Amino acid sequence: MSVAAEPQIKTQSFVIDLPDPALPPFFVQLVELRGSVVITVGTAPTPYAIAGDFACAMHTAQGPPSSTALTPNASTSLSMSAKFSRRYKRQVFLSLDLAAFTTQGRPANNLVLTLEKALLMKLDPFLKETK
């Protein structure tokens, strides 16, 4: 008798509504693989501009996560993916499509902080249970 293997890939999609009614909802898609997670965030339902701001961070046993930009304009995803990698102790690929909120090549800091907090509230139940 064979036992069915547990799925190795898990996906979840959800919408984040930020407190500011002037901001549109953010659509988030998670793809969890063994030891890593791919997070894509955009302001329109998929397909949104994946890799507009794209980075990868890898958890290390000692010291800060090792992170790298996968696109030229990845400053926001670079720092956020490192924080998520440290928090969830896994490799994190993070793609942000914040082009509509970019001024002088960077999204507004208050938007980034608000989005990061909202993402953590949604990600914690999904990623902390599967460590």
**Residue of higher predicted confidence among 51 and 122:** 122
| pTM metric for this prediction | 0.83
Percent of the chain with pLDDT over 70: 79
Q: How confident is the model over 89-131, as pLDDT tens digits?
A: 999 999 988 766 665 455 566 788 888 999 999 899 888 765 5
Average pLDDT, integer, range 21-32: 86
- Residue 80's closest CA among 39, 121, 51? 39
